[in-house]
């Protein structure tokens, strides 16, 4: 789409339906839509009603038919097992079509649900695409999730079949999946008809006779299945995200809008072309893995990387550079926490010097706020633009970004740049009034949402409205707080529940984290609000130092307190900080600030099911105790 970014955004705003109709020309449809947007039943909007399509066909088959049969579609790189496996588009089509035949042989039909509980192996992508091929609705659950969490998703989705593997591998740890799966099925009220288990060499799972089947044995006998046409408004998948009540919310993604938006994003946001190698260093258990490991790169005719490893430790802080170099990666999308880990282990970039990154042109970060220090460090080391963009599980793709394929706008470290075409973003106060530029408030999206965003929650229209649309009628509530500056740049400062009230002053913990991360000895940090009888809340900083720092912790903390006072002012009342060895995170890299706050306040909390290592919480409790928290 030619023109400057402002011109492209203005063209969307002037004619949203015309804009998306033009983008939809990039998709192969069995039947075109009756209208671009059905807005007859707000707030339940539907994109491309009447259209008939198949997601798997657009991801694989059409590329085989149009000359990409021998191009690599997927590269599996597993440093934890020492394995590399490559699939051309033709080979991937054969595998997916056969596994689609396996699913049909198990009685799976259009509209049935299939849970995929898998590690980062190519069979996970094959299972997802096979479901899409026959119109089944997949629900990927992060491999290794605890049994009770898996059980809640089984009960809600009521899958006909569950696909799993014998184990996953986290660094050097082998995690058997089958005992977790068996227990989840035992405690579930909804029972699958069958389970298909992919046996890995590290662990052989015991199969339950009459219920469990071997992936490889079924594949040997399977007949390939053709693509099944489905309605554009039919669900492609359900992805569960944590709910405030502890009951997970099943985010629904449709087929048509998802195809159009993700295909559009690959060139316009990420500036990659068909044939390029694109890498999203995430996991298929998260939305990034759905959108940008499996679907969008294949929609666009790219080669996608399936990486089973870590940014450090598998084997060293040069792991990402090795993958980029080995496969001529053009663009990398990962979480800021990955680069904080690399920066902490290799602050001077010694490992980077070992590799040729000649084809690499852009680094994209998302998943949590990208602190300016990490963003600047990555940019200086790599010599390429480092783009912070912001989106959510519910949206499925970027809300704000620097759309590098349209126009690379000036980078403001700490800002996720501007709203992407498709999103009318506004900042409101507690009464629902728009605030002035530069003023922090609740960030909302004016309805209707862009194609590819959730149309509702699985079997829970009421929950969809209550969770996202009731706070500000006519708007989707992102639950993020921030502001829009005079240039139209968006600054995501914190979750709305991370805005703390210090003696009547509403302050952003994200703003304080930005100051702390500028300290030369700080690798990463988190600021939480702890209860205080006098001021209501006080900010408390948890700081991880870079490798090799030998200065006394007390000296560094004094400097941090001084920096916050200088940058934000005495109003912040920032006087509490402690050095810790690591921060508690989810497996997708989000820092568990809310859990740390509950520990500090002495509030009972539930062990987060997505936590990377539960032992970290004990370390945090010990560190907080040195500051006298929780208060007696």
Supply 62's token pair: 């059409």
Helix (H, G, I), strand (E, B) or coil at 420: coil
**Using CA atoms, how far apart are residues 504 and 500, in angstroms rounded to an integer?**
9
Looking at the fold, whether 100 and 244 belong to one and the same domain comes out as: yes
Reduced 3-state DSSP string for 545-583: ECCCCCCCHHHHHHHHHHHHHHHCCHHHCCCEEEECCCC
Residue 445 lies in a domain: yes
**Tokens standing for residue 100:** 């689609």
Considering the domain architecture, whether residues 423 and 558 belong to the same structural domain is answered as: no
User: Do 462 and 600 fall into the same domain?
Assistant: no
Does 321 fall in a domain? no
Could you tell me if residue 358 is inside a domain? no
CA distance 405 to 402: 9
| 546 and 439 together in one domain | no
Give me the number of domains the chain comprises.
Answer: 2
- List CB contacts of 255: < 8 A, sequence separation 6 or more: 53, 54, 55, 132, 230, 231, 232, 233, 234, 235, 236
Dihedral sign, Cα of residue 371, residue 372, residue 374, residue 378:
positive
Asked whether residue 318 is assigned to any structural domain, the reply reads: no
> Is 134 inside any structural domain?
yes
Do residues 115 and 226 both lie within one domain?
A: yes
Distance, in Å, from the CA atom of 442 to the CA atom of 448, rounded to the nearest integer, reads 18
For the chain, the C-alpha Rg in angstroms (whole number) is 24
Give the pLDDT band of residue 179 (cuts 50, 70, 90). very high
Strand partners, 530: 538
Residue 144's CATH number: 3.40.50.12780
Over the stretch 239-258, which tens digit does the pLDDT of each residue have? 998 654 456 799 999 999 99
Residue 611 confidence class, pLDDT cut points 50, 70, 90: confident
Higher pLDDT, 459 or 245: 459
The Cα–Cα gap between 87 and 100 comes to 17
Kindly give the residue spans of alpha helices, DSSP state H, lying in 201-357: 215-221, 256-268, 287-288, 296-299, 319-327, 336-345
Higher-pLDDT residue of 440 and 235 is 235
What stretch of H or E contains 161? Answer: strand 161-165
Q: Are residues 435 and 556 in the same domain?
A: no
Domain of 591: which CATH number? 3.30.300.30
Do residues 418 and 551 share a domain? no
The residue from 447, 482, 517 where one domain ends is: 482
Q: Tokens at residue 45, please?
A: 């909007």
pLDDT tens digits, one per residue of 320-344: 999 999 999 999 999 888 998 899 8
pTM of the model: 0.85
Q: Any bridge partners for residue 331, and if so which?
A: 278, 362
pLDDT tens profile 443-454: 999 999 999 999
What percent of the chain has a predicted confidence (pLDDT) above 90?
79
70-94 average pLDDT score: 98
**Burial of 531 (C-beta count, 10 Å sphere; 0-12/13-18/19+):** middle
Domain boundary pick from 426, 449, 482: 482
Paired residues of 401 in beta bridges: 418
pLDDT at 595 over 70: yes
Is residue 477, in this structure, part of any structural domain at all? Answer: yes
Q: 518 and 474 in one domain?
A: no
277 to 73, 95, 284, 320, 360: CA distances (angstroms): 9, 21, 18, 14, 9
pLDDT at 245: 46
For the segment 418-440, the average pLDDT, to the nearest whole number, is 94
Rounded Cα distance between 118 and 128, Å, is 11
**Residues 354-370: tens digit of each pLDDT:** 999 999 999 999 987 78
- The half-sphere exposure of 561 on its side-chain side, counting CA atoms within 13 A, is 15
Q: Using 50, 70 and 90 to split pLDDT, how confident is the model at 505?
A: low
Residue 378 within any structural domain of the chain: no
Lookup result for tokens 């500036």: 271
Q: What is the pLDDT of residues 258-300, one digit of tens each?
A: 999 999 999 999 999 999 999 999 999 989 999 999 999 999 9
What are the pLDDT digits (tens) for 511-567? Answer: 788 889 999 999 999 999 998 877 778 899 999 999 999 999 999 999 999 998 887
Q: Are 431 and 555 part of one and the same domain?
A: no
Do 202 and 99 fall into the same domain? yes
Residue 169 lies in a domain: yes
Q: How far apart are CA 310 and CA 431, in angstroms?
A: 44
Quote the domain boundaries for residue 246.
5-309+389-482
pLDDT for the residue numbered 1: 47
pLDDT for res 46? 98
pLDDT confidence bin for 500, thresholds 50/70/90: confident
Three-state DSSP at 95 gives helix
Q: Is the pLDDT of residue 17 over 90?
A: yes
Q: Residue 396: pLDDT above 90? A: yes
Last residue of a domain, one of 482, 517, 547: 482
Do 454 and 589 reside in the same domain of the chain? no
Entry field: residues in the chain: 632
**580 and 458 within one domain:** no
Q: What region, left, alpha or beta, does residue 148 occupy, with left being phi > 0 and alpha being psi -120 to 50 degrees?
A: alpha
Q: How far apart are CA 194 and CA 368, in angstroms?
A: 37
Q: What is the pLDDT of residue 146?
A: 80
């Amino acid at each position: 789409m030619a023109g400057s970014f402002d011109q492209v955004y203005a063209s969307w705003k002037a004619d949203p339906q015309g804009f998306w109709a033009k983008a939809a020309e990039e998709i192969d449809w069995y039947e075109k839509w009756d209208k671009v947007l059905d807005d007859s039943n707000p707030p339940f909007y539907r994109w491309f009603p009447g259209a008939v399509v198949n997601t798997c066909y657009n991801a694989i088959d059409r590329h085989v038919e149009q000359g990409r049969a021998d191009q690599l579609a997927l590269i599996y790189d597993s440093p934890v097992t020492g394995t590399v496996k490559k699939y051309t588009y033709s080979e991937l089509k054969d595998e997916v079509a056969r596994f689609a035949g396996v699913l049909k042989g198990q009685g799976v039909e259009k509209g049935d649900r299939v849970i995929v509980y898998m590690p980062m192996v190519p069979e996970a992508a094959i299972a997802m695409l096979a479901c899409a091929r026959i119109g089944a609705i997949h629900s990927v659950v992060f491999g290794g999730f605890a049994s009770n969490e898996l059980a809640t998703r089984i009960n809600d989705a009521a899958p006909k079949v569950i696909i799993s593997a014998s184990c996953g591998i986290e660094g050097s740890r082998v995690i058997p999946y089958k005992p977790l799966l068996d227990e989840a099925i035992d405690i579930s009220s909804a029972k699958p008809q069958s389970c298909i288990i992919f046996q890995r060499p590290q662990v052989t799972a015991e199969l339950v006779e009459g219920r469990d089947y071997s992936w490889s044995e079924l594949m040997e006998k399977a007949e390939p299945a053709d693509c099944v046409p489905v309605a554009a408004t039919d669900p492609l998948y359900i992805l569960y995200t944590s709910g405030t009540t502890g009951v997970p919310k099943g985010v629904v993604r449709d087929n048509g809008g998802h195809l159009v938006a993700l295909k559009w994003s690959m060139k316009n946001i990420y500036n990659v072309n068909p044939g390029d190698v694109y890498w999203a260093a995430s996991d298929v258990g998260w939305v990034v893995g759905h959108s940008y490991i499996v679907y969008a790169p294949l929609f666009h005719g790219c080669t996608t990387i399936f990486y089973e490893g870590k940014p450090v430790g598998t084997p060293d802080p040069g792991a990402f550079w090795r993958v980029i170099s080995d496969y001529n990666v053009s663009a990398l999308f990962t979480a800021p926490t990955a680069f904080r880990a690399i920066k902490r282990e290799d602050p001077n970039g010694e490992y980077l010097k070992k590799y040729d990154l000649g084809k690499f042109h852009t680094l994209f970060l998302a998943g949590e706020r990208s602190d300016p220090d990490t963003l600047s460090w990555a940019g200086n080391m790599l010599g390429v633009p480092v783009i912070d963009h912001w989106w959510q599980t519910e949206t499925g793709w970027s809300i704000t970004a620097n759309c590098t394929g349209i126009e690379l706008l000036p980078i403001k470290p700490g800002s996720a740049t501007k709203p992407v075409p498709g999103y009318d973003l506004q900042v409101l106060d507690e009464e629902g009034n728009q605030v002035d530029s530069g003023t922090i408030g609740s960030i909302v999206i004016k309805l209707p949402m862009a194609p590819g965003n959730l149309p509702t929650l699985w079997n829970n229209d009421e929950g969809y409205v209550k969770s996202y649309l009731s706070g500000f009628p006519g708007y989707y509530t992102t639950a993020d707080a921030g502001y829009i500056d005079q240039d139209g740049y968006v600054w995501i400062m914190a979750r709305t529940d991370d805005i703390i009230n210090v003696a009547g002053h509403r302050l952003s913990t994200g703003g304080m984290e930005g100051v702390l991360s500028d300290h030369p000895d700080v690798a990463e940090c988190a600021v939480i609000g702890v209860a205080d009888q006098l001021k209501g809340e006080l900010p408390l900083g948890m700081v991880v130092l870079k490798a090799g720092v030998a200065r006394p912790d007390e000296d560094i903390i004094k400097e941090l307190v001084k920096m916050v006072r200088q940058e934000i002012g005495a109003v912040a009342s920032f006087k509490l900080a402690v050095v810790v060895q690591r921060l508690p995170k989810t497996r997708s890299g989000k820092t568990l600030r809310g859990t740390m706050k509950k520990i500090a306040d002495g509030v009972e909390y539930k062990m987060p099911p997505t936590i990377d290592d539960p032992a970290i919480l004990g370390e945090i409790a010990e560190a907080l105790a040195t500051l006298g928290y929780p208060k007696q």
